[in-house]
């Protein structure tokens, strides 16, 4: 049994029937739990509706750094109301993305800081997105006291030094399909070395499909390929890795799917 610790289910597949088919395929592949992630206020509302309807889905709600420019005077109150729902396990995804720079960097920073404070206020862990801003991300997590709630560095794609600092701040590392890519040796090294009680696996569907589906639309069933790679790197069976990562998620956010 496996949990997909980070996937986007709203707007990722053409119709509701397609989404049901995606979730059925995941279940048949042994994936029995899903953390569905919201990226702006509207998306977060829809993700919460989905999580309320399905006991195998829990929500992570926030405003992605790409969407930081959409933050206005009403966003904090609206998001705070959403994240207090018991079906919500994480605040985010939030963080910094200096690769695409789709929102101005100072806006990304303010919106990130505000969501760290919100996570502390509601006492829920954070779902962190970071790209090409490793030092800044760690600095803001430290300055805002994020270690009080911890969380997930999702789609881990940094180096071992970053991993160590994130672990010291109490964060878990979630590996995505990138770990299956041949050239991703630095990430594979971290996946082999990270403490057993801090590792998770995810798809980040519909993006970043793992080998052998690279370039195709990703879906939660494919987390089995991510898990197989991480298990291989650590000398474990996929079954053992499934148990470990499911237990780690439960320790972090208090939720595990019923089998």
Query: C-beta of 122: minimal distance to Zn ion in Å?
Result: 20
Query: Residue 195 has which token pair?
Result: 């403490």
State which residue, 92 or 232, has the beta carbon closest to Zn ion.
Answer: 92
CB 48 within 8 A of CB 87: yes
Whole-number minimum distance, CB 181 to Zn ion, in Å?
A: 17
- We find the least distance from the C-beta atom of residue 128 to Zn ion, in angstroms, to be 8
Count of residues in contact with Zn ion, rule CB under 5 A: 2
CB of 237 to Zn ion, least distance (A): 28
Question: Nearest to residue 188, comparing CAs of 224, 221, 157, 154?
Answer: 157
Q: Which is nearer to Zn ion, 66 or 259 (CB)?
A: 66
Q: Kindly write out the interface string for residues 201-220 of this chain, putting x where it contacts Zn ion by CB under 5 A and - elsewhere.
A: ---x----------------
Nearer to Zn ion, 203 or 238 (CB): 203
Determine contact, residues 66/39, Cβ cutoff 8 Å.
Answer: yes
CB of residue 133 to Zn ion, shortest distance in Å: 13
> CA-CA distance, 87 to 55, in Å (whole number)?
9
Nearest to 232 by CA among 241, 243, 223: 241
The footprint of Zn ion on residues 129-158 (CB under 5 A) is 129
Q: Is the CB of 101 or the CB of 232 nearer to Zn ion?
A: 101
Which contiguous run of DSSP H or E holds residue 227?
A: helix 223-234
Q: Which is nearer to Zn ion, 158 or 204 (CB)?
A: 204
User: Which residues in 114-133 contact Zn ion (CB under 5 A)?
Assistant: 129
| DSSP per-residue codes, 10-57 | SSSSSSHHHHHHHHHHHHHTTEEEEEEE--SHHHHHHHHHHHHH-TTE
Tokens 């696996």 sit at which residue? 201
* 66 interacts with Zn ion by CB under 5 A: no
Residue 97 backbone dihedrals phi, psi, to 5 degrees = -130, 100
Quick one: 58 or 129, whose CB is closer to Zn ion? 129
Kindly state the smallest distance separating residue 204's Cβ from Zn ion, in Å: 5
Interface contacts to Zn ion, rule CB under 5 A: 129, 204
């Amino acid at each position: 049994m496996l949990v997909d610790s980070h996937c986007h289910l709203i707007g990722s597949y053409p119709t509701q029937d397609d989404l049901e088919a995606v979730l059925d395929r995941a279940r048949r592949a042994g994936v029995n739990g899903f953390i569905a992630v919201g990226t702006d206020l509207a998306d977060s509302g829809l993700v919460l509706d989905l999580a309320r309807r399905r006991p195998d889905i829990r929500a992570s709600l926030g405003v992605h750094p790409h969407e930081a420019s959409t933050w206005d005077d009403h966003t904090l109150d609206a998001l705070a109301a959403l994240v207090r729902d018991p079906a919500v396990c994480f605040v985010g995804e939030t963080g910094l993305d200096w690769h695409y720079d789709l929102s101005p960097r100072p806006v990304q920073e303010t919106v990130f800081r505000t969501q760290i404070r919100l996570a502390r206020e509601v006492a829920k862990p954070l779902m962190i997105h970071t790209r090409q801003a490793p030092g800044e991300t760690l600095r803001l997590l430290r300055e805002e006291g994020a270690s009080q709630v911890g969380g997930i560095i999702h789609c881990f794609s940094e180096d071992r030094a970053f991993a160590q600092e994130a672990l010291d701040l109490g964060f878990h590392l979630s590996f995505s399909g990138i770990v299956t890519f041949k050239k991703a040796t630095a990430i594979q090294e971290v996946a082999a070395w990270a403490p057993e009680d801090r590792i998770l696996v995810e798809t980040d569907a519909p993006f970043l499909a793992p080998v052998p589906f690279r370039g195709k639309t990703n879906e939660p069933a494919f987390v089995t390929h991510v898990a197989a790679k991480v298990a291989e790197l650590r000398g474990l069976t996929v079954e053992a890795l499934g148990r470990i990562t499911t237990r780690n998620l439960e320790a972090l956010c208090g939720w595990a799917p019923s089998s």
